Amino acid sequence: MWDHLVFRPDPPPPSEIPTAAVLAPLYEDADGHLRLLLTKRPDTMPTHAGHLAFPGGRPDPSDGGPVATALREAQEEMGIDPAGVEVLGFLPEVHTVEYSLLVVPVVGKLPPDPTFTPSEREVSKVLTPLVSDLADEAGWSHQLWNGRRVWFYEIDGEILWGATAWMTRNLLGLET
């Protein structure tokens, strides 16, 4: 499945729009199946409450770019050691609707069968769907919202949608 993933080697150019970054973490489980890590944000979060998302957020002044932001946030939210992440590339940046932010998705490979330590404050549930399942168009549906196609995918009783669904479909080379 690794060779079916689609990403760019270089980050997007700097932007005038405020920027955030997320890590799209991939890893092989104990059976050698490729999985994607997603988190469910608690209902108490001030932004994107209850949504499925990749670990990430706004930069700290000391981050020095989207890779550092994505890795720091993944460590804070999921206990992922930045030194153990192999940065593979980048997905097209996403303009969020809820807030005027440009989100830079960083694609990263984790060591096989990693252990996660979710932050209780930022993560209410951890989901690790098989990439092969996500790559099957039959599991996806969409609706038109204000003339734009919004994609949906059910994972363990939760709905992946919005910017994270768009990023996931981009990663898998599916029509967005």
| 84, 49, 161, 96 alpha-carbon torsion, rounded to 10° | -80
d(CA 108, CA 70) in angstroms, rounded, equals 10
Would you list the domain boundaries of the chain? 2-130
Q: Which fold has domain 2-130?
A: Nucleoside Triphosphate Pyrophosphohydrolase (3.90.79)
d(CA 126, CA 116) in angstroms, rounded, equals 9
Q: What percent of the chain has pLDDT over 90?
A: 81
d(CA 142, CA 169) in angstroms, rounded, equals 12
Planar angle of CA 80, 82, 84, nearest 5 degrees: 85
3-state helix, strand, coil in the chain (%, to 5): 20, 35, 45
Cα distances (angstroms) measured from residue 79 to each of 3, 74, 97, 116, 129: 27, 7, 28, 6, 19
d(CA 70, CA 65) in angstroms, rounded, equals 9
pLDDT at 43 over 80: no
- What pLDDT digit, counting tens, does each position of 45-78 carry? 666 667 999 999 999 999 989 999 999 999 999 9
DSSP string, 142-153: EEEETTEEEEEE
pLDDT at 162 over 80: yes
- What pLDDT digit, counting tens, does each position of 76-106 carry? 999 999 999 999 999 999 987 666 789 999 9
Residue type, 143: Q
